[in-house]
Structure 1
Amino acid sequence: MVEVLALVEARLRSALGEPDARAAVTFLGTDRIEVLRFVDGDVVRYATLGMSAHPMADPTAALADPVKGPRAELVLSVRAGLADTDKALRPLAVLAASPQVEGVIVAPGASLDVGEPLWPGTSFSSVLVAEPGGLVEDLDLDEPMDPVHFLPLLPMTANEAAWKRVHGGQELQERWLAHGTDLRDPLRRSVTLN
C-alpha cells in the first residue's frame, strides 16, 4: 500500500509539479486520505492521495480481491482566486473514501454527490467523473495489479446532475461543449438544459 501511494504521489508531482499544500482526513474504519493542492498559474488543482491504496471492489462480490481491481485517484481543477475552493478538501476526501465506506466503484460517467456545497457560495454539490488520461497519465503497477487512473472531476449544479441522470454523462458533456462552458469556473451557473 505505501509503495503504491509513493508511486502515485511521484506521478502527480511529475505531472503537476510540487504541491504547495496538503491536508489529511481519516474517516472511521478507513485508511487516511490526503488531498494535495497544486497551483499552475490561474488554475488550482486538487488531487486525492490514498484512494488507490487498495483496489475498488465490486459491492456484489462475496469477497474483495486485495490485489486485483480498479484503482483511481480524483483530480479537480478550478480557477484560482474566484472562490474559497480550498474548502473542497474535505468533500474531495469524502468522495475518495466512498469506495471503502460505501463499497462503490468510481468510474468515468459516474456521478458522485457529497450532499452539501463543494465550497462556500457554490451551487455544486456533485461531480461528473470524466475519462482519465489527459492531465495525469495512468500509472501502471506490477502485475497482477491494475493501473491507477487519475479521474478528472467536473462539478455539476443540481439541475445538471438531474439532467445527467436522465440523458447521461456524455450528453451533458456535449451540452457543456456546445455552450462553451468554462468547467473550471468555480462561480459558473448551470448550462442551458432545454
Structure 2
Amino acid sequence: MVDVLPLVEARLSTALGAPDARAAVTFLGTDRIEVLRFRDSDQEGAVVRYATLGMSAHPMTDPTAMLADPVKGPRAELVLTVRAGLAETDKVLRALAVLAASPQVEGVVVAPGASLDVGDPLWPGAPFSSVLVGEPGGLVEDLELDAPMDPVRFLPLLPMTANEAAWKRVHGAQALQERWLTKGTDLRDPARKSVPLD
C-alpha cells in the first residue's frame, strides 16, 4: 500500500514552501504526528502556518461502523494560519497534534463545520481553546490518491473564542462564518477579541 505521508509533505511544500521547523508528538497507542511550520508574507504582513503531518496516514472511520476499513474513508490534515510575532503561537504544536490524533484516539471524523476543543488555550494567553474546521481547497489543494483511497483534504482551522463556540453550537458554523465576514474579523489575529454576537 502507498505511503501517503511523503506525498502529503510534498503537497504542503509545493503550496507553502519549505518548512522552517518541525516537531513530532506521539500519544500512547497512536502513530506519530508531526507539525510543520511555514513562514510566509502576504500583503498585510508576515504570517506563520502550522500543518499537521500524520493524520492522513489512515482513513478516518465512522465511530458507529462495525469494522474499520483500512483503505477507504476520508483523510485529512489540519492547517492553522496566524499573524507572526504577536503571540507565542509556536506553543500550539501540541494542541494541533492532539487534534490531529483525535480520529485515532476518539474515533471521530473531522469534517468542515465541526468544532474541535482542546480544553486549554491553544497557546499561552490565547483567547481560544477551540477551532472551527473550515472548507478545504483554498490554500492547499486536495491530494488525489490512487483508487479506492479517498483524497487527502487540507482543512483550515479557524480559532474560536468560548462565546463564539457557544454561539456556533446554537446557530451553526455557516452563521458564525457569515458573522465573521460581516464584521470584517481578522481570523489570523492570535489575540483578537470575540466578534459581536448580539
1:23 aligns with 2:27: no
Counterpart of 2:137 in structure 1 is: 133
1:172 aligns with 2:168: no
4+ residue runs over 3 A deviation: none
Counterpart of 2:72 in structure 1 is: 68
Normalised TM-score (structure 2) = 0.97
Give per-residue Cα distances to partners, 1:99-119, cap 9 Å, x unaligned.
000000000000000000000
Alpha-carbon distance in 2 for matches of 1:86, 1:124: 15
Give me the CA root mean square deviation: 0.8
What secondary structure, in the 3-state scheme, does the structure 1 residue paired with 2:29 have? coil
Aligned residues: 194
Tell me if structure 2 keeps the 8 A contact 1:37–1:47.
yes
1:89-108 alignment, distance < 5 Å: 89-108=93-112
Alpha-carbon distance in 2 for matches of 1:2, 1:45: 27
What letter matches 2:117 in structure 1? D
Counterpart of 1:9 in structure 2 is: 9
1:115 aligns with 2:119: yes
Q: What's the offset of the Cα at 1:2?
A: 6.9
Tell me if structure 2 keeps the 8 A contact 1:74–1:96.
yes
- Could you list the runs of 5+ residues in structure 1 that have no partner in the other structure? none
Match of 1:190 among 186, 189, 194: 194
What letter matches 2:195 in structure 1? V
What secondary structure, in the 3-state scheme, does the structure 1 residue paired with 2:15 have? helix
Normalised TM-score (structure 1) = 0.99
What secondary structure, in the 3-state scheme, does the structure 1 residue paired with 2:197 have? coil
- Could you list the runs of 5+ residues in structure 2 that have no partner in the other structure? none
Q: What's the offset of the Cα at 1:11?
A: 0.1
What secondary structure, in the 3-state scheme, does the structure 2 residue paired with 1:82 have? coil
